[in-house]
Structure 1
């Protein structure tokens, strides 16, 4: 069984109030950590190796039924980088409190991250709101994985970035109590459509497509909230004298420059299966890694639009 040198997995689990008995959860976790560390997902020989200086992923939501752990495992098996940032909501404790769901692939993602760190990749975990209990361990290590509340990053081209999950920006987005409730149920409905729509597409031999992302990006209220979030993140970076911000949280990958500031959102592994990639010259791009690979192009220097 793997043992963590500083913050133990047992201690981490005790930071949340579980509906399942703690001994039952611990037993399942102990058994899972004893599994072989080899992924059950076959490597696709057609998938190229991503050789990068730094990679950012966020909003994986392990423990949530719509987490695309299979795509993420395949991605992690095909990367080579110096630094890997986990920008929050890697483990979805909110979902686990409601319903304990932890398939083997979700364990394998954790083990793969641990393996990458043990091999010499610097892995930095910046917790989000869904894995907020980890914030009490900031400045400590989860095995070889660093835990930081926020982090400053210097890119290869000399730009300073603020790395944060982004949930603090929710304070600037106006949501009524009714809108929050309707929004939660509406998002569950979008993911339901996304799940069954892609099962149909797979049966028809078609690749994965984010139906939820397409629908969400065309809802007026959602577009306005995304725009507000982006602007507040840029304002926070400017206030703190950074050249840009790298964040997650809203499950909407984006990469653009506005007024000399760079906004980078890593996206998620619920809808978009996306990661932010920086090469050794400081160029940043977004990679969507599903049945097929899709790169989003160079920095868009236009302002964000609602």
Structure 2
């Protein structure tokens, strides 16, 4: 006799995460595993830089927590979640295999994707490195130089937050704070967002969902919906689409994962409309 139990409805229509940087010491893998364990969706978009090929070419770093993230993603795909992997600049080595219709089991691998939102809008899903002027071939050395400086900031940030955690203080991102206070960084972010919106306008998209710059954001740019899902190195954020068409940014607190006392899901997540 067939079971009358129905499969529970996923929490969200779609979840978008990017810039996980598996293979780098800055990756907040434990936090992402905890997030994925408590947040399910019909569709899961991995919006680039999931694997950090740049760092792994210099030094091999792959702890068990990074394998756990891969397992979470594979398990979601096995249980019926439609998983799409979008290639970014740190995992650009995968682009050489796109001609072979690259896929990891049930996980499709693409340069970009079209997401039809429940709100009736057509969204371009792309990592975003194509809109970054620093990714031009003649300027790429500057990006690699900046990558070294950024990794030093992440190392400093890790040590600083270890001290803050012992003092009972919340997680705080040093690099995010510097981005918000540096005029040149703010100009780079605004230029990036403008390029994304201009491209969508020319190509007939209603909006874009991207990552790359590690700054979670949702805003309207002259009629184009711009949404950035952030990262899992600094902000530990994800973009989610509700079944009724609402969009929301969720911020996970990584220090809570390592706390001794169990904490309710509501206490770990801060939603930003």
Q: TM-score by structure 1 length? A: 0.77
Matched, 1:271 2:234: yes
The corresponding residue for 1:77 is 37
The corresponding residue for 1:104 is 64
Q: Equivalent of 2:46, from 73, 86, 101?
A: 86
Name the structure where helix makes up a greater proportion of residues: 2
Task: Say whether the 8 Å CA contact 1:173–1:229 is kept in structure 2.
Answer: no
Higher relative contact order (CA 8 A, sep 6+): 2
The corresponding residue for 2:202 is 239
Task: Say whether the 8 Å CA contact 2:194–2:221 is kept in structure 1.
Answer: no
Task: Say whether the 8 Å CA contact 1:59–1:267 is kept in structure 2.
Answer: yes
Q: TM-score by structure 2 length? A: 0.86
Gaps of 5+ in 1: 1-48, 298-306
Task: Say whether the 8 Å CA contact 2:16–2:229 is kept in structure 1.
Answer: yes
Q: In angstroms, what is the RMSD of aligned CA positions?
A: 2.1
User: Aligned-pair distance for 1:192?
Assistant: 2.3
Task: Say whether the 8 Å CA contact 2:84–2:107 is kept in structure 1.
Answer: yes
The count of aligned residue pairs is: 249
How many angstroms apart in 1 are the aligned matches of 2:188 and 2:135? 6
Task: Say whether the 8 Å CA contact 2:87–2:127 is kept in structure 1.
Answer: yes
Task: Say whether the 8 Å CA contact 1:173–1:228 is kept in structure 2.
Answer: no
Matched, 1:167 2:143: no
User: Aligned-pair distance for 1:271?
Assistant: 0.6
The corresponding residue for 2:6 is none
Sort the Cα spacing of 1:186 and 1:146 in 2 relative to 1 into closer, same or farther, 3 A.
same
Task: Say whether the 8 Å CA contact 1:50–1:78 is kept in structure 2.
Answer: no
User: Aligned-pair distance for 1:117?
Assistant: 0.1
The corresponding residue for 1:153 is 115
How many angstroms apart in 2 are the aligned matches of 1:186 and 1:136? 28
User: Aligned-pair distance for 1:193?
Assistant: 2.5
Gaps of 5+ in 2: 1-8, 257-267
Task: Say whether the 8 Å CA contact 1:172–1:232 is kept in structure 2.
Answer: no
How many angstroms apart in 2 are the aligned matches of 1:215 and 1:196? 17
User: Aligned-pair distance for 1:252?
Assistant: 0.7
How many angstroms apart in 2 are the aligned matches of 1:252 and 1:159? 23
How many angstroms apart in 2 are the aligned matches of 1:172 and 1:72? 28
How many angstroms apart in 1 are the aligned matches of 2:180 and 2:90? 23
User: Aligned-pair distance for 1:206?
Assistant: 2.1
The corresponding residue for 1:255 is 218
Q: Equivalent of 1:143, from 93, 101, 105?
A: 105
Matched, 1:295 2:271: yes
Deviation digits for residues 120-177 of structure 1 (CA, Å, limit 9, x no counterpart) = 0000001111111222343432111111111001100100000101111123789978
